Amino acid sequence: MTTTTPHYDVAIIGSGPAGIFAALELLKHSGTRVVIFEKGKDLPRRRCPIDDDHPSCINCAPCDLVSGWGGAGAFSDGKITLTTEFGGILDQYLPKPELETLIHQVDQTFVGYGGDRPVYGLDSEKVKEIIRKAATADLSLIPARIRHLGTERCYEILKNMREDLRDRVDLRFRSPVAEILVDGERVTGVETEDGKRIGADYVISGPGREGAEWFSGEAERLNLGMSPNPVDIGVRVEVPAVILEHLTDVVYESKMIFYSKSFDDRVRTFCMNPYGEVVVENTGGVLTVNGHSYAEKKTENTNFALLVSKTFTEPFKEPLAYGKYVARLANLIGGGVIVQRLGDLLAGRRSTQERIQRGLVRPTLRDATPGDLSLVLPYRHLVALLEMLEALDSIAPGVHSRHTLLYGVEVKYYSARICLSPRLETGIENLFAVGDGAGVTRGLAQAAVSGVVAGREIISRLEKRAPSLGVS
């Protein structure tokens, strides 16, 4: 049975960076009534039990690491990529000068809430030298300035934002949205899973990667135009931090691109975490791997993702399902995340606990099963990953060591890309789509920018119409 509750100017789906920055922007317009729906918990209640009473993932639904206030960004290592070159495709919607300005403004907002941390990649001569060395190994380094907040600092910043919005926005936690309500070609609000219908003149959908499948389903139901995004499948690599120190001290995150010699597939490094740790993520019951690094706490290792990008063509239209299939296969064989020494993989044998223990790299993820990734990863993916590890060894000797640890699988679920206007409005009037869940961003900076863009467009429309109806 459905019930009707108060009417708002704007309803925001998801409280990740895109939703938070949309709310911050909307509140610059006096009197705007905003409600945020979040399927997860409030920030202080988010807690992964792996760190306390349980030695392994117990399949919390939803996973506190990816759902709740701050989204997956709350427990990320907090990299603000100050570039238009990666972290999303907003440059296909906005002129680059405008996008650059917005990224700078978003960065300063993070700084204002407590994110005044160092920016890497400012030494142009050292960056040029890395680019030169990379080119000799058929690697392309995408130079970028990066502000690293650190996992614990990222949490504090999101906490400060939460406190700022506490009495200014209606925040509804553990309140997943079931449907976006539409009358004709115009959005009218949302309906939650418990049957409540909430009216809104504008809706901003920013469910993040965790809500990507749900939003794709809604887009199909509402006949919104969609196109498939690539699916990135690979492993998380863990090596002694000293091996990559000459790179991470200069650029912090080395964004390297490589095309495999055997299949010409695009392979890239992603989410490099100097002195960090490898962690497990649970997306709808599917366990994958990720990495964190902290501002203060350090380990002896550095980890990074190595991902093979694949864009499918007709007739296949379900890259999300494909990525989850590969991840589920790893879960089936290993009971969760698999870890393997590179030497064992090259020798055609599975890793064992004993072989891991006598290796030179001490794993930072204890909840991983020694196993054989060749039983999980598609052949062309495996070949591409091994070829890139060899290439990386040319600029960072020791990466291609038999002691290097590979965790699998890492999958980046990019939702189907929704057809959007330059202001990120869908084909339904007053329905906006932002962040990773819309398939247009892939990181904190551009996700936040997308929220700002939608928020500013709505403010412009609010200023042109009659005074807000407010809460009835």
Torsion of CA 220, 221, 224, 228, to 10 degrees: -10
**For the chain, what is the radius of gyration of the CA atoms?**
22
What three-state secondary structure class fits 84?
coil
168-217 confidence digits (pLDDT tens): 999 999 999 999 999 999 999 999 999 999 999 999 999 988 888 899 89
For residues 180 and 37, give the distance between their C-alpha atoms in angstroms, rounded to a whole number.
Answer: 12
- Retrieve residue 18's tokens: 């895109």
Helices (H), 306-378: 319-334, 342-347, 353-357
pLDDT score recorded for residue 209? 81
Picking from 256, 235, 275, 259, the residue whose alpha carbon sits closest to that of residue 387 is 259
82-131 confidence digits (pLDDT tens): 999 888 999 999 999 999 999 999 999 999 999 888 899 988 899 999 99
Q: Which CATH number fits domain 3-124+150-227+417-464: 1.10.3720.10, 3.50.50.60, 3.40.50.300, 3.40.50.720?
A: 3.50.50.60
Helices 444-464 + 96-112 axis angle, to 10: 100
Picking from 170, 38, 92, 69, the residue whose alpha carbon sits closest to that of residue 470 is 170
Helices (H), 136-258: 151-165, 212-221, 241-251
For residues 17 and 157, give the distance between their C-alpha atoms in angstroms, rounded to a whole number.
Answer: 11
Banded model confidence at residue 150, pLDDT cuts 50, 70, 90: confident
For residues 81 and 441, give the distance between their C-alpha atoms in angstroms, rounded to a whole number.
Answer: 12
Enter the pTM of the model. Answer: 0.83
* Bond into 62 cis (ω within 30): yes
List CB contacts of 107: < 8 A, sequence separation 6 or more: 80, 82, 147, 445
167: left (phi over 0), alpha (psi -120 to 50) or beta: alpha
Average pLDDT of the residues in 387-398: 97
Question: What is the spatial order of strands in the sheet that 405-412 belongs to?
Answer: 140-141, 256-259, 266-273, 301-310, 231-240, 405-412, 338-341, 369-370
231-267 confidence digits (pLDDT tens): 899 999 999 999 999 999 999 888 999 999 999 999 9
Average pLDDT of the residues in 57-75: 80
Place of tokens 């204002």: 112
Q: Are β-strands 3-13 and 34-37 bridged in parallel, bridged antiparallel, or unpaired?
A: parallel
Whether 428 has a pLDDT exceeding 60, the answer reads yes
pLDDT score recorded for residue 469? 46
Q: Where in the chain is the domain with CATH 3.50.50.60?
A: 3-124+150-227+417-464
pLDDT score recorded for residue 466? 55
| Phi, psi (degrees; rounded to nearest 5) at 444 | -60, -50
Q: Are β-strands 369-370 and 405-412 bridged in parallel, bridged antiparallel, or unpaired?
A: unpaired
Whether 226 has a pLDDT exceeding 90, the answer reads no
What is the rounded average pLDDT for all residues in the chain?
90
